[in-house]
Amino acid sequence: MWALYLALAILLLPTAVVVGLYASRIRFSRRIVALTVPAESCPTCCNRTIVVAGDSTAFGVGALPTESTAGRLAAAFPNARVVNVARSGARIGDVAQQLEALGARGVTFADLVLIHACANDVLEFRRLADVEHDFCLSIARAKAISPNVVVMPGHNFSVAPFFLRPMSWLIMRHAVKVHALVKRLAEELGVIFVDLFKPPAEDPFVKEPRRYYCADGLHPSAEGYGLWFVTLIAQVPLTRFLDSGSD
C-alpha cells in the first residue's frame, strides 16, 4: 500500500508544483492590480473628451498612471478630459456596461473612445460566437457616444512568461482565432483596429520579456505600454480627432 501511495505522490507531484506556481503568480498579480491607480485627467479648460474602456491593460496595471495608455493620452492632449472606466478582469462584453455608466459621470459624448479588451475572452477560452455577440454590443454602444472608436485588443498574451507550456500553446491557438474574429468585425462595423498581434519570432515582448513585462510576467511594463502607444499614434489620426483648434 505504501508503494502505491509513493507512486501516486510521484505522479501527482508535477501537477501539484504547477498548481502551486500558478497560485503564487496569481496572488502576486492580484497585488499589483490592487495597487494600480487608473490615469484620468480633467483640465480646467478641456474642450475634448477621451474615454478609455476595457480590461486591466486599459486600467493601466503594471505601470504608473502616467505610463499607461490613458496617462500618455492625457499628456499628449493636455486640453482633453480623459475618463477611464476600465476594470481589471473585464471581458469585451463588460465594455458596454462600462460605457453605459458614463452617464452617471456626466459624459454623453466623447471625441474618442479607446477600447483595450478581449484578453480575458482569450484567457477564459470563450466561444467565438459569444465574443462576436458581445463585441458587436460594445461597439454599438461606443458608436452611440463617439464618431471615433478605436479597438486595441493588446498583443499576443500567450507568449507572456506568466504562462507555462502546454498552457501557452493552448492559449495561442485560441488567441489567433479571437484576433482574426475581432479584426474582421472591426472592419465590418467601421471602427479602427490597432493591430498589436505579432508572431512570437517578431514580438519585442518575446525578445525582451524583462523589459516589456512588469514584475508579474503578464501585464505590460511602462516600456511595454510605450510600445503600444507608439503603435497607436502611428495607426490612428489622433490629432485629427482631438485637435483643440477645430470644433
pLDDT for res 33: 79
Residue pair 68/223 in contact (Cβ under 8 Å)? The answer is: no
Domain-wise residue ranges, the chain: 1-35, 48-241
pLDDT for res 244: 62
pLDDT for res 167: 82
Cβ neighbours of 243 (radius 10 Å): 15
Q: Would you write out the chain's pLDDT as a tens digit for each of its 247 residues?
A: 334 333 334 433 444 444 555 566 678 678 887 888 999 999 988 899 999 999 999 999 999 999 999 999 999 999 999 999 999 999 999 999 999 999 999 999 999 999 999 999 999 999 999 999 999 999 999 999 999 999 999 889 889 988 877 888 999 999 999 999 999 999 999 999 999 999 889 999 999 999 999 999 899 999 999 999 999 999 999 999 998 654 4
Angle at 21 between CA 86 and CA 223, to 5 degrees: 45
**Residues, the chain, total?**
247
Which CATH code fits 48-241?
3.40.50.1110
Residue pair 219/213 in contact (Cβ under 8 Å)? The answer is: yes
pLDDT for res 7: 35
pLDDT for res 2: 38
Alpha helices in the chain (DSSP H): 2-35, 56-59, 69-76, 92-100, 119-123, 128-145, 167-189, 204-207, 209-212, 222-235, 238-242
Distance CA 30, CA 36 (A): 10
